[in-house]
Amino acid sequence: MDGGSYGQLAYLLLLLMAVGGWVFAEYRSRLGLALRTALAWGMIFLGLMAAYGVWTGMQASRPQQAVMQDGGITIPRAPDGHYYVTLTVRGQPVTFLADTGATSVVLSPADAQALGIDLATLRFDGQAQTANGPVRTARVLLEDVALGPVTDRRLTAFVNEAPMDGSLLGMDYLGRFRVEIDGDRMVLLR
């Protein structure tokens, strides 16, 4: 443990002693009641932890994109209301936010590095306008980009110089498909 961890541990022990001291002073003549109350609160806490675990487990097991019999790809709407598409680029899965308001495919610096793109060798001489203002970009060429049964040998993309939460799948790629929004799913057909 480092110095910060010892400080946090000391703080937690001090807090525990303060609460424990109050409980002992309040319930000193009724220790049985104190024990039952503590047990009840402990069970409530465990119940909330279990409910949270079940809820997050359900969220993680939401259906993923799937290929339909007609060759279309269905993408379910995520809990945040967006559609996330997983492409395979050079054999590596990359998750993109389907963004019909974006012109281009934009890789986050983290996704670009995961694909083996050396950020130090890129020339960030492009510029894109975003809701947060202008950002510098570098043009790259992605090879062997696959979405289900559909493979594109080459796809132009841009690496954003600034960190991003994730990569964007703009109309340069989505425009290659017929895009339909049907309830809580996006269907891509080519």
The larger pLDDT score, comparing residue 58 to residue 186, is at 186
How far is the C-alpha of 174 from the C-alpha of 46, rounded, in Å?
45
The larger pLDDT score, comparing residue 61 to residue 178, is at 178
Of the chain, the percentage scoring pLDDT greater than 70 comes to: 93
How far is the C-alpha of 155 from the C-alpha of 101, rounded, in Å?
18
Average pLDDT over residues 155-178: 94
How far is the C-alpha of 102 from the C-alpha of 164, rounded, in Å?
14
pTM of the model as a whole: 0.65
Task: Give the pLDDT confidence score for residue 2 in this predicted structure.
Answer: 65
What is the overall mean pLDDT for the chain? 87
User: Would you state the CATH architecture of domain 66-189?
Assistant: Beta Barrel (2.40)
The pLDDT tens digits for 111-136 are: 999 999 999 999 999 998 877 789 99
The pLDDT tens digits for 13-72 are: 888 888 888 877 887 888 788 788 878 888 887 888 888 877 766 555 455 777 777 778
The helix-helix angle for 31-60 and 3-27 (nearest 10°) equals 140
Domain spans of the chain, in order of start:
3-60, 66-189
- Collapsing DSSP states into helix, strand and coil, what is residue 68? coil
